[in-house]
Amino acid sequence: MFDKILIANRGEIACRIIRSARRLGIGTVAVYSDADANARHVALADEAWHIGGAPALESYLRPERILEAARESGARAVHPGYGFMAENAGFAAGCAEAGLCFIGPPVAAIEAMGSKSAAKKIMEEAGVPLVPGYHGQDQQIGILQQAAGRIGYPLLIKASAGGGGKGMRVVNGAAEFDDALASARREAKAAFGDDQVLLERYLTRPRHVEIQVFADSRGNAVHLFERDCSIQRRHQKVVEEAPAPGMTQQLRAQMGEAAVAAAKAIGYEGAGTVEFLLDEDGSFYFMEMNTRLQVEHPVTEMITGQDLVEWQLRVAAGEVLPKSQQELEIGGHAIEVRVYAEDPDRDFLPSIGTLEHLRPPAENAHVRIDTGVCQGDAVSIHYDPMIAKLIVWDQDRTSAVRRLQQALADYQVVGVTTNLRFLASVAKHPAFVAAELDTGFIERHRGDLFPAAEPASDDVLALAALDVLLRRSHEADRGATLPLDPCSPWLLTDGWRLNSDNHHTLTFHQGETTIEVVAHYRSECYLLELPGGPLQVCGELDGQGDLLANLGGRRARATAVRRGNELTILFQGRSHCLQLDDPYLLTDEQEGTGGSLTAPMPGKVISVMVEAGAEVKQGSPLMILEAMKMEHTITAPGDGRVTALHFEAGALVNEGEELLAFEAVEGS
């Protein structure tokens, strides 16, 4: 076994590989770009080597820099993870030339699976079922027209050099064929530099069912059962699960044997995935073979109890497969979803920003989180905006679906837009619960999967008002301990007014909507005037940012995250972002922070939202301190410029220390 390996990747997969390597007592070397200097995978590794600039092409896609880091660190093997250079035959060969073990399949296997038509030819000879079609080298139009006539319609024209759905074209009748062929060829030439096409009968409602295979260097090969990955969006997997719903033992055995035959046909070693299309009649057809560990491998690990990265390390070190086929069995059901910083309401555009608040559900035997980020990290424009993979397991699918729904409801992210609500809509959808899966799922149920944002309910408004009032009260109590006049009337927060009951009006904005909540102070609670009527509320902050409230006799627990005048209430699995324009609050915030940008109390800088030289508006958040288990936002005292930052995230500061230098602009 290797004494040290280099992980040529980043994010969650790098962290995941490090976790298994560490458990096996193997030293780990991380590589990182400028943008990842403080990334989680760098912190977790034993050593870390800088390999270049933030863009992947200047770092993670630079083989020479990675091989140099391996040589200088003394690593004996390189794990490519997935993506980047995981299926790059040239990189795998470069590792071998450098005397390093590439933890993956042989170069020849990667090359053999690189071309769709070549792969299909190999599979056909190995007896692996293919979709009825034509994938010959003879591309004369007459040959293709004859083939189309044999296949029948609807048929699919696919670019041989394509992949992931690129260069596919459905043809519904003979009259359309010639034009569709010409168009598909032009597109393939433009996209892949190769206009070779193949023809297939078009399956109208297929499922994507893939088989995990593993082979060692001694000629052994097994399958670790199947995963259903039918729920995809633009050929990006959204939900993956194992085992595939509705799979019979016979079909599982047939697909497993076909997948193992495919692996053996190309002299495979290591982890691989054979992807099939499963038709409604139970027929299955080879689609492609991936020569890497897949993103969704954890669902296979959860139902088999195997660590596939450990298998990779052992097999790459020349050991025999850890289990025989007879020793592998399915236990329970697992489902994975990918939590992304992206906006489903804006066509899943990546959402760039800082993970101001990040609280995944608690991990246990039923919930696993594979992540490469921590609270306070920035979501970079340079890489896949994945926050984490959420994997759940239970004894059966119904229970696993319930675990998924709960885990998604508990997943808290503030600072970027995420796809959590979209994933929750999928997990709750009756068709998903009933396991009615096929590759058209998202398009078919689109109307149900993108619910419009809900206006804040009275309960959400009550929780927001309570958070504001309780924090103000805490700040005032704290203020009373400062060396000011403890009896100063300015420290009172009971809303006292001359000739009027004690009350205060809080003004919230949600999008274009403005909502006023009048809070009447009562001895042990507040009486709130809400859009739906009055509600008596009380509660407390638990110091973790959670609000334990009593709303008109109903107990409620919520998380409130404050960023300047933005308040996010996470309640009952939903996230509600409100803006406050309560001048008292802003003043209070500044009072709470000493006004002059000094630390109001000893604490830790947990977030810096600006750079030196930044022009800022009054009240905009500049820095967040964590003290007394609460977050204190340092805001701009006026319009001006931040001229210097004296501390960065993670620094500990003493009370009264100047945190940053600020220059007001004239007239502010």
| Interface positions with ligand MV4 (CB under 6 A) | 131, 156, 164-165, 200-203, 206, 208, 232, 235, 277, 287, 439
Tokens read off for 192: 């892949």
Complex with ligand MV4: residue 202 or 348, whichever CB lies closer: 202
Distance (Å, whole) CA 636 – CA 616: 7
- Give me the least distance between CB of 203 and ligand MV4, in Å please: 4
Give residue 309's identity as a one-letter amino acid code: V
Question: Catalytic residue at 292?
Answer: yes
Tokens read off for 596: 């002059």
Distance (Å, whole) CA 546 – CA 535: 20
- Give me the least distance between CB of 252 and ligand MV4, in Å please: 19
DSSP designation for 40: H
Complex with ligand MV4: residue 174 or 665, whichever CB lies closer: 174
- Give me the least distance between CB of 83 and ligand MV4, in Å please: 16
Edge-first strand order for the sheet with 4-7 is: 47-52, 27-33, 4-7, 77-79, 101-102
Buried b / exposed e along 545-571 (16+ C-beta atoms within 10 A): bbbebebeeeebebbbbbbbbbbbbbb
The SS3 of residue 87 is coil
Q: Are 114 and 89 in contact (CB under 8 A)?
A: yes
Complex with ligand MV4: residue 200 or 301, whichever CB lies closer: 200
Selected catalytic residue, list 169, 207, 227, 292? 292
**132 sits in which H/E element:** none
* CA angle 532–537–538, rounded 5-degree value: 165
Complex with ligand MV4: residue 28 or 439, whichever CB lies closer: 439
- Give me the least distance between CB of 162 and ligand MV4, in Å please: 8
Complex with ligand MV4: residue 233 or 428, whichever CB lies closer: 233
- Give me the least distance between CB of 95 and ligand MV4, in Å please: 28
- Give me the least distance between CB of 60 and ligand MV4, in Å please: 25
Buried b / exposed e along 576-611 (16+ C-beta atoms within 10 A): bbbebebeebbebbbbbbbeebbbbbebebbbbbbe
Complex with ligand MV4: residue 27 or 243, whichever CB lies closer: 243
Complex with ligand MV4: residue 12 or 200, whichever CB lies closer: 200
Give residue 560's identity as a one-letter amino acid code: A
- Give me the least distance between CB of 62 and ligand MV4, in Å please: 29
Look at residues 499, 471, 489, 483 and name the one whose alpha carbon lies nearest to residue 586.
471
Q: Which residue has the tokens 């230098």?
A: 661
Distance (Å, whole) CA 384 – CA 133: 35
| Residues taking part in catalysis | 292
